[in-house]
Structure 1
Amino acid sequence: MNIYDKAHDLAKAMKDSPEVQEIMAAVKLIDADPQSKEMLDNFRTRQNELQQRMMSGDMPSPEEMEQMEKQFEVLSLNLNIRRLFEAEQRLSVIIQDVNKIIADSLQHLYGHSE
């Protein structure tokens, strides 16, 4: 068994998954609506800026976090954007589950038995 072949199989399975297909469909609909695309792009830019700040140790203020939450709620009123957010969340759960499965399979290396 080649572990890299398995990783490529997993990557293909994820690419072909309903969750990824749903993300692609939602993005296509958002891209077709310039207003939705601009709103989402602005949100993602701001989100990335805050994440970069947090990674460098500069925690955003509660007001900034509240503002992002409100912006997220407003964006979620847009059905296509909400569809995207929900599909991204489902894919995120799958990725977390796969990471846990891999990590759990290696616990015995560090003295933890299952």
Structure 2
Amino acid sequence: MANTLDVANNLEQALRESDEFKSLKEAYEAVMGEPTAKQMFENFRDTQLSLQEKQMQGIEITEEEVEKARQVVETVQQHEGISKLMEEEQRLNNLINEISQIITKPLEDLYGTAEQN
């Protein structure tokens, strides 16, 4: 049987070669190549990461921060290139989620589902 880590490395390479990743990379490079889009996207990511950090630390997010985040999201969704990037990222995430379900199947089989217990 193949070494599990070798299989994981092959999977990583397959992801890099997938249409989903190639489309994401192309969309990302297009956004990064346009200064206005790049700034908007970086602002979006900074806002997103800041809120995630606060949530993980148990710090309450203010209404002002929620409103700012909503405005940032609204702005980036109106930009065609960033919107495309977000769609492509979602496509890749869907693929990764499907792979994760396959990878964790042995644990699911071992422990069963909540309905079986």
Give the TM-score normalised by structure 1: 0.86
- How many residue pairs get matched? 113
Aligned to 2:25: 24
Partner Cα separation in structure 1 for residue 98 and residue 62 of structure 2 = 31
Q: State the distance in 2 between where 1:51 and 1:67 align.
A: 14
- Residue 59 (structure 2) aligns with: 58
Deviation at 1:33, TM superposition (A): 1.1
Q: How does 1:23-102 map to 2 (within 5 A)?
A: 23-102=24-103
Shift of 1:66: 4.1
Q: 1:9 to 1:51 in 2, by over 3 A?
A: same
Please report how far the alpha carbon of residue 45 of structure 1 lies from its aligned counterpart in structure 2 after TM superposition.
Answer: 0.8
What is the rounded CA distance, in whole Å, between the counterparts of 2:64 and 2:93 in structure 1? 27
5+ residue gaps, structure 2, are none
Shift in alpha-carbon separation, 1:31–1:60, aligned structure 2, 3 A: same
Q: Which residue of 1 aligns with 2:11?
A: 10
Counterpart residue type for residue 48 of structure 1? L
Residue 99 of structure 1 aligns with an amino acid whose one-letter code is S
CA-CA distance at 1:62 after TM superposition: 4.6
Aligned-pair identity in percent equals 32
**What RMSD, in angstroms, separates the aligned Cα atoms of the two structures?**
1.8
Describe the SS at the equivalent of 1:106: helix
Normalising to structure 2: TM-score of the pair? Answer: 0.84
